[in-house]
Amino acid sequence: MKEKDKFKFKSLKELEKKIDKLSLDIPISKNLDILKEKIKLGNRIIPNRLAVHPLEGTDANQDGSPGKLTIRRYKRFAAGGAGLIWLEAVAADEDGRANNKQLLIKENNLDSFKNLAVVMRDEAKNIYGDDFNPYLAVQLNHSGRYGVNNNILFHHELSDKSAGISPDQEVMTDAELEQVEDNFLRASKLVKKAGFDAVDIKACHRYLFSEALAAHTREGKYGGSYENRTRLLKNTIRKVKENVDIDIVVRLNVYDDIAYPYGWGTDEFGNMDLSEPKRLIEELEDLGVKIINITASTPYLKPYINRPYDNSSGLGMEPDETPIEGVERLIKLTKFVSETVDKCLVIGTGFSWLREYAPYTAAGVVEKSWADMIGFGRLALAYPDFAKSIIKNNSLDKSKVCVSCSKCAYLKAHNKASGCVVRDAEVYVPFLREIIKK
């Protein structure tokens, strides 16, 4: 990446000039009041239009229960005032766990998840009053090829290489995938018992449910045709809807940026083809999914697509495009989903790179009805009270924002507790030093 393409804006006007110069479709609005609006979802009121995205902290206890740093992180998010807090990937069963530091919900640690929900709600109410009740979603996941057992649905050279999978690795059977559906149902019942508002059937970043959407070369009832490739996700949603009284939400890869026949939402040249994603999004809404949270590609191959950055920290290729073009792509994908649905809420992503100017783009996107809510991931790690700053001060403090250095992702990639080494240095720099010493 050329130095001139990195974030160097000294004012909002400079950012607007860059957007105009590149002819980018990135809206700007100073009407930040729109982000403060409440949203009605069923019988729940979401206090504002700001959300914390799911980002794995790699700090769970051995049994999968929230560790001390997990509780600290979510308590800080709750104190930060976001209307929606989307919990990071929680394994639905031991087999789908990414590592021994990933959250895992099960009957014998259920009380710890109940406590986490109570801690978040109490912290928010203590600061913002009894009427402030953040909407809490839990992201259930099966890590697939990136999990402890490297479960794959098909072979793909680049994806296999990224996960260290050999060519003779056996693929999961249809029977095993049926069991995954039941495991997610069981875990969803536990999420409900724990007191959360929603369960996310995670279908992004090429983990199991996301990879299933691209299983063109797979045989059996979970591969080949569109109906087969979407079966795992839709079957699981149906089972949860029929058996658990809880909102169902989905964080969805709108496309993979991997060429057909190994990608989702792409043609044989790797160009974006959103005909199948559009069909799925319409079906998800018909199935009763309440919220779709947008993302794309995979952090294991092209991380700059789902999180535009100035520095990859050695985790991925340096892109030919500028980060601001990556921001525009995610905004366009958000707009595409919003124009596809009628009732479903849509959460936009990709704003953290914009730093202190992110609220103005967020307001512009909501003002144009391209999204109902705006989510922040890396920014939330660096600046957990970002929502409070926007709501109370109509601004973000540039000394607190994420600088897109990718060190939080670097920590996770090395199986260390993940957080902001710049803004939360006392806690997370020691984990970084452990990696460097090796």
d(CA 305, CA 23): 19
Q: What contacts 17, CB < 8 A, 6 or more positions away?
A: none
- pLDDT the model gives residue 27: 98
pLDDT band at 94 (very low <50, low <70, confident <90, very high): very high
Confidence of residue 283 (pLDDT cuts 50, 70, 90): very high
Burial (CB count <10 Å: 0-12, 13-18, 19+), residue 245: exposed
pLDDT digits (tens, 9 = 90+) for 139-185: 999 999 999 999 999 999 999 999 999 999 999 999 999 999 999 99
Mean of the pLDDT values across residues 30-40?
98
Q: How far apart (Å, rounded) are the C-alpha atoms in residues 124 and 122? A: 5
Mean pLDDT of 425-429: 98
The angle, 0 to 180 degrees and rounded to 10, between the axes of the packed helices 110-128 and 68-79 is 30
Q: What average pLDDT is seen over the chain?
A: 97
Q: How many CA atoms lie within 13 A of 286 on its CB side?
A: 8
Portion of the chain with pLDDT greater than 70, in percent: 100
Give start and end residues of each alpha helix (H) in 149-259: 157-163, 174-193, 208-212, 226-229, 231-243
Q: Provide the whole-model pTM.
A: 0.98
Distance between CA atoms of residues 136 and 199, nearest Å? 9
Find where tokens 């991997």 sit. 258
Mean pLDDT across the stretch 26-51?
Answer: 98
